């Protein structure tokens, strides 16, 4: 088996979504300063890097991260080639055209977004689902939908997905991943009541 890390490393000053808290990673205690250990502290938002959204992210009063089922995030998955999708959104017709296998429960969209990880600053010029694309995902029985930048979709798409119990995984690094079938393992932090949580995500080939 080959284990492939598709997580965006968390680092000080990394790109984050517009108006999200910046990442600050620094030493709180340091051997170089006379302490017996090195201990770091980190400040960041819950939607930093590779992360999972909880229903309360867009639905007031909905459950937090503790409600997200881990079995939706672990198991057979398909990476689908969406690099041919143009425009600024991914709709029903776009998803229908890229031949998502019937019965796929975990779908990871590799799009032109993957190239954006080489940029040092956040950009809004990325592909995301619109409402029709989200409804397609729900209608197909997809439990988990992932994408290769910091947001799975617009406001309507988020509400459609989260309201239907679909788990969005955002911020995947699929630059070196060939489309095809894998085993997906994604474990978000269990942040009780939170609207999202950073995660470590891997593909097993």
Catalytic residue among 51, 57, 155, 158: 57
Please give the Cα distance from 8 to 199 (Å, whole number): 9
Which structure tokens are listed for 178? 């060939």
pLDDT band at 107 (very low <50, low <70, confident <90, very high): very high
Residue 47 is a catalytic residue: no
What residues does each domain of the chain span? 3-12+46-204
pLDDT of residue 118: 94
Chain centroid to CA 1 = 24
43-98 pLDDT per residue, tens: 999 999 999 999 999 999 999 999 999 999 999 999 999 999 999 999 999 999 99
pLDDT of residue 197: 98
pLDDT band at 17 (very low <50, low <70, confident <90, very high): very high
139-192 pLDDT per residue, tens: 999 999 999 999 999 999 999 999 999 999 999 999 999 999 999 999 999 999
Which residue is listed with tokens 């937090």?
Answer: 64
Q: Point out which residues pair with 41 in neighbouring strands.
A: 26
**94 phi/psi in degrees, rounded to 5:** -65, -45
pLDDT band at 129 (very low <50, low <70, confident <90, very high): very high
Which residue is listed with tokens 């239907």?
Answer: 164
DSSP string for the chain: --EEE-BPPP-TT----TTSPPPEEEEEE-GGGT-SS-EEEEE--TT-SSEEE-GGGTSTT---GGGS-GGGSEEEEEEEE-TT--SS-B-HHHHHHTTPPTT-SEEEEE-GGGGGGGSSS--S----B-HHHHHHHHHTT-SEEEESSS-SB-HHHHHHHHHTT-EEEE-B--TTPPSEEEEEEEEE---TT-SEEEEEEEEE-
Domain 3-12+46-204 matching CATH 3.50.30.50: the answer reads yes
pLDDT of residue 59: 98
Cα 122 to Cα 2, 19, 49, distances in angstroms: 31, 10, 11
Query: What is this structure's pTM?
Result: 0.97
Please, what is the angle between helix 155-163 and helix 131-139, to 10°?
A: 20
pLDDT of residue 119: 94
Is the Cβ–Cβ distance between 82 and 127 less than 8 Å? yes
pLDDT of residue 4: 98
Is the Cβ–Cβ distance between 170 and 6 less than 8 Å? no
Is the sign of the CA dihedral 54, 72, 138, 80 positive or negative?
positive
């Amino acid at each position: 088996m080959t284990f492939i890390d598709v997580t965006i490393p968390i680092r000080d000053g990394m790109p984050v979504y517009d108006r999200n808290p910046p990442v600050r990673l620094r030493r709180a205690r340091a051997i170089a300063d006379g302490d017996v250990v090195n201990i770091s502290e980190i400040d960041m938002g819950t939607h930093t890097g590779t992360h999972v959204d909880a229903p309360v992210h867009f639905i007031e009063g909905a459950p937090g991260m503790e409600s997200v089922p881990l079995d939706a995030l672990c198991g057979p998955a398909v990476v689908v080639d969406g690099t041919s999708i143009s425009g600024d959104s991914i709709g029903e017709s776009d998803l229908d055209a890229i031949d998502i296998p019937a019965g796929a429960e975990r779908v990871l969209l590799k799009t032109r977004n993957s190239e954006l990880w080489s940029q040092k600053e956040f950009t809004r010029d990325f592909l995301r689902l619109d409402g029709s694309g989200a409804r397609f995902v729900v209608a197909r029985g997809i439990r988990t939908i992932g994408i290769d930048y910091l947001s799975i979709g617009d406001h309507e798409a988020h509400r459609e997905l989260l309201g239907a119990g679909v788990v969005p995984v955002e911020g995947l690094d699929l630059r070196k991943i060939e489309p095809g079938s894998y085993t997906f393992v994604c474990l978000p932090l269990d942040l009780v009541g939170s609207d999202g949580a950073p995660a470590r995500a891997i593909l097993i080939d």
